Every structure is written in structure tokens, then in C-alpha cells.
Amino acid sequence: MAAANLVICKYCDSVYQRTPLGRREIARCAQCGAELYHYRQIDVDTMLALTVASLFAFVIANIFPIAMLEAQGRSSEANLWQAIIASFRSGAAPIGALAATTVFFFPLLQLCLFAYVLLPLRLAQVPSGFNWVMHALRQMQPWAMVEVFMLGVLVAVVKLGDVATVTPLAGTWGFALLTLLLTLLNSYDLRELWDRASALNA
């Protein structure tokens, strides 16, 4: 039984062989009744469009300043990497390293891997190293924390509003858009891409 055809209940760890479903059908665990998966027509074009749009949003979020801070007649602004470098210089290196990893490197790698998989699948081809890339995508999902960073930016804007004027700039809106697009992209079940690849290899 191929590993790609197996599905594990996340509540009781029961293992089942994945079988095709019809429209509106839902597969449930025979042990605990939890939903295992449901019918969903994979749309590679939509996933690819979300990936490309996410890459554009990623560039905007990281190139442009996040916010402008004005206090006592002075103003300053910084993008993500300027903020990360400032955290290293101020002695908060662990925070800077965590931000660089979870807000920049992991999301960028995740988007590049999605593009690497989706472009060939759209052309009815399975890319080399498909299994490794798919496992990497699954392991990476919890560590791309753009939404956590976006929440931190919003909290900082509210907190600093009492002592200074904070104006969100293009970087903030880039991160907001990136958060939305990544949420939509990650809502797809990666097992559907496994099924598409298996069908092409059959």
C-alpha cells in the first residue's frame, strides 16, 4: 500500500487507505467518527495563481517600509530587514534570527517549493524530487509565521499610538495581503497534489 494513499486520523491515529470520493462525500474514521477528508476538486491553476500573487506580495512586504513613526518632530521608517538588523544591534539577536527565519526564509522557501511543484503539474508532469518537496512543504507549514508577525505589527501600532504617530506604509499592506494569500494557499490539502502526481505516474 503506497504511503501517499494512506490517511491517518488526527484524533485516534487509525490508518486507512485513501479512496476516491464523489461530490459532497466525506470520509470519516470508523473508530471515532472524525472527518478524515472530503471531496474537493484540485485546481492547480488557482493554487499556482495564489503562489504567484503571494510572491509579488512577498516582494512588496519586504522591500517597502512597514510603518512610519513620528514623535517630537522626528520621523523614522524601516522595512523588515532594517528592523531585523536593528534587533541584532540592540542585543536582541534571538528575536531577530527568529523573525528572519519565520517571516522571511520559511515563507519564501515555501512559495518557491509550491511553484516548483505546481508549474510541472499544470503541464501534466511530475517534477523530480517530488516526494522530498512535498514532505518539506508539510513540515514547513507550521513554521511560516507571517500571520503572527502581522498580529505583532498591529499590536505595536496600537501600543505606540499613545506616545507617537504611527502610519502604516506599503510594507504593512504587503504583509496583510501575503497573510491572506498564504492562508488561502495553505487551506488546500497537500494530499490532493499527491493524488494528481499518482494519476500522472499511473
Domain count, the chain: 2
Tell me: do 104 and 5 sit in the same domain: no
Task: For 79-111, write each residue's pLDDT tens digit.
Answer: 888 888 888 888 888 888 888 888 899 899 999
DSSP assignments along 107-167, one per residue? HHHHHHHHHHHHHHHHTT---TTHHHHHHHHHHHGGG--HHHHHHHHHHHHHHHTTTSEEE
State which residues form the domain around 60. Answer: 42-201
Q: Note whether 93 and 190 are same-domain residues.
A: yes
- CA-based radius of gyration for the chain: 21
102 & 193 share domain: yes
Are residues 28 and 85 located together in one domain of the fold? no
Q: What is the pLDDT of residues 137-156, one digit of tens each?
A: 888 877 777 877 777 777 77
Same domain, 5 and 79: no
Residues 71 and 131 in one domain: yes
